[in-house]
A and B are shown apart, each in its own frame.
Chain A
Amino acid sequence: MSSVKISNLEKAYGNVKVLHRLNLDVEDGRFVVLLGPSGCGKSTLLRMIAGLESVTGGDILFDDKRVNDVHAKDRNIAMVFQNYALYAHMTVRKNMAFSMRLNKTDKKTMDEKVNWASSILGLDEYLDRLPKELSGGQRQRVAMGRAIVRDPDVFLFDEPLSNLDAKLRVQMRTEIKDLHQRLKTTTVYVTHDQIEAMTMADEVVVMRGGYIEQSGTPMEIYDNPNNLFVAQFIGSPSMNILKCEVQQNNGAQSAVIGDTHFPLPTNSSLQVGQIIHYGIRPEHFHVSTQAQHGSIVGTVKVVEPTGPETHVYLNIAEHSLCAITRDRIELRPGDAIHLQPDLGHVHLFDGDTSNAI
């Protein structure tokens, strides 16, 4: 196992810069998820760590040793690809033993390791099958088996679950996390699925346009997003954002959009007339059918019961919002609905820079 340090890392294809002086520390044994939309550079970063892409500038260090010019095969890493990339002409056993065959491991050790990996991954009965005789989930497990038999210093996962169906994805998510807890190998995992990031990571690194927007534990990122992008990217349904103007009313400040006044936390240091983005997550509204002191009125558009909670999509001042309630409230489209924002969970972002205030 080893730590991974990224220092001022840059990547450019010709004149096009895709990664801009990135810095990142992955401590030994941590599970770090690189999260971001398509084209944000997360896969490129992973492939640079793997040694599959050259480094334009900066350094990659494994245990403080610079590996920029070390070939992928000599980095002692293991990688699981989105499309599995199995060796189609080899049986499951041979797929998993391939790396050991290359470094001339003796047969006994090879068999032991393959059997150990297959028992962990539940592949015992498929060892002599070809990949084409396996289901998608089983193939993904073979790809993981191929990675773990090597006892690598670093595990790299490149969107490994995005080809699986929803149910299998949830199951594999748990399996990968369980595997990490057992093996405690440093892991860098790339995904665009924020649920995967939240559920699996020790640390989430949110990327956009070749920059790291924020990194931290999943809850830090969820509770204290640095900027508007992170706020909206993390969480499903995503955070409600309204562009408002700060006004002074009856001695208290409020964020105003149209005729609607959203209460502001008393400790916020805002100036009257300042333009801000007012952010609040759907679960931080108190939802009621009765008007209450300081509540905001909206009109119900769509109601989505999920079982444990109900998602209510509504309109306030011609803006769409979402609120989540765990109460059993009878709501129909067109009904009036009263919302009370939980002031302890209101996020404010600068109107110009979009950074958290």
Chain B
Amino acid sequence: MSSATIKSTARYVVAIVTVAIFVFPIAWFALTSIKPISAIFNKDRVVVFDFKPTFDNYKVTVLGGRKSDSTKNSSILMGTSGDGAYDGRGSIMSSIIIATCSTILATVISLLAAYALSRLSFRGAQGYMHWILSQRFLPPVAIIIPLVFIFRDLGLRDTHLGIIIAHTLINIPIALLILKSFFDDVPIEVDQAAMIDGATRFQCFYMVVVPMIKGGIAATAVLCFIFSWTEFLLSLFLTNSIRTVPVKITTFVTSTGSEWGYISALGTAAIIPGFIFILLVQNHLVRGLTMGAIKD
């Protein structure tokens, strides 16, 4: 074998092993979601493929089926007995509303702020950037108690708007920093050329510079969405009845046992909206859109 063949084989092996390590938990999760309860909780051995697939877990968590229907033949009994306790449809909808709205808000606000910070010079600009970054120094758990009180007093606790605002605020510093670096990559002469061509500052922003950093905006939006989709702590403390998917899933861990079937079914189903969102923006997830604007 030539050294080139060995190299390329080695590359494939490393790639396959790496992907396998990352995909295995998700695959196992998805597999568990279609296992009957007897296969999940088999005390004697680990059941991998030799089970009769069932969609009962999905029926209960995402289609609104009754738990009592799916467990009537089972000898294993645990968890909450209430039929609506495992219905994740509301949670998925809440998560979609919260993640989408907070992503749009965080991206739009950061876009405007990042452009200003990249293009306009003002006294204390550097300190202002540091201040923004410092918003991420504290872990959210450190501010959770005052936040709960503030949100309660403002009437924002247990509302979609409340969580949207919380997620937007958490996302803005990172989104702003990322977008600023993309704006910094666009030479200022492009703005100046547009202004000489007759554009106002705002026209220059939305007609020229923003389209040139589409890739950066897509990447930022994906990051914001994933953060909001998976965020647990704020959602847990700031809500009672509105349950985002991560919070909802924890309720499946009960004092009488963990409902692994439902956990995995709702978890697997929850991957799908995020997956669709990333599919939609992935075409823009390329850097180098500024290529050609200037001498490379």
Which A residues contact B (CB, under 8 angstroms)? Answer: 50-52, 71-73, 75, 77-79, 81-89, 98-99, 102-103, 130-134, 136, 139, 143, 146, 150, 163
Contacts and interface: CB of A to CB of B under 8 A. Distances in A.
Contacts of B197: 73, 98-99, 102, 146, 150
A84 B198 contact: no
B292 A85 contact: no
Contacts of B292: 86, 88, 130-134, 139
A136 B295 contact: yes
Given A133-B292, A136-B295, A139-B292, A85 B198 contact: no
B294 A72 contact: no
A75 B199 CA distance: 12
B208 interface: yes
Contacts of B214: 89
Contacts of B212: 87-89
Interface residues of B, number: 24
A163 B193 CA distance: 17
A323 to B, nearest CB: 38
List 9 A-B pairs, minimum CB-CB distance, nearest first: A132-B292, A131-B292, A85-B189, A99-B197, A88-B293, A83-B294, A85-B193, A163-B295, A132-B291
B259 to A, nearest CB: 50
A72 B199 CA distance: 9
A82 B190 CA distance: 11
B289 A85 contact: no
Contacts of A102: 197-199, 203
B194 interface: yes
B195 interface: yes
Contacts of B189: 81-83, 85
Residue from B214, B290, B292 having most chain A Cβ neighbours under 10 A: B292
Contacts of A88: 212, 289-293
Given A85-B193, A86-B294, 9 more contacts: A73-B196, A73-B198, A81-B192, A83-B187, A83-B294, A88-B212, A89-B211, A98-B197, A146-B197
Contacts of A84: 293-295
18 contacts: A72-B192, A72-B195, A73-B196, A73-B197, A79-B196, A85-B187, A85-B190, A85-B294, A87-B293, A88-B289, A88-B292, A102-B199, A132-B291, A132-B292, A133-B292, A139-B292, A143-B193, A146-B197
A87 B203 CA distance: 13
Contacts of A146: 193, 197
B254 interface: no
Residue from A81, A86, A88, A99 having most chain B Cβ neighbours under 10 A: A88
A77 B199 CA distance: 13
B290 to A, nearest CB: 5
B200 interface: yes
A136 B293 CA distance: 10
Contacts of A77: 196
A62 to B, nearest CB: 14
A32 B200 CA distance: 29
Contacts of B208: 87
Nearest to A142: B292
A48 B245 CA distance: 57
B289 A78 contact: no
A73 B293 contact: no
Contacts of B290: 88
Nearest to B211: A89
Contacts of A163: 295
Contacts of B195: 52, 71-73
Contact of A85 (B192, B199, B200): B192
Interface string B255-296: 000000000000000000000000000000000011111110
Contacts of B199: 73, 98, 102
A85 B190 CA distance: 5
A169 to B, nearest CB: 13
B32 to A, nearest CB: 46
Nearest to A140: B295
Residue from A71, A78, A84, A150 having most chain B Cβ neighbours under 10 A: A84
Given A87-B293, A88-B291, A103 B198 contact: yes
A82 B295 CA distance: 9
Contacts of A98: 194, 197, 199
A349 to B, nearest CB: 39
Contacts of B293: 84-88, 131
Contacts of A71: 195
Nearest to A139: B292
B196 A50 contact: yes
Nearest to A73: B198
A86 to B, nearest CB: 5
A132 B144 CA distance: 49
A156 to B, nearest CB: 8
B222 to A, nearest CB: 20
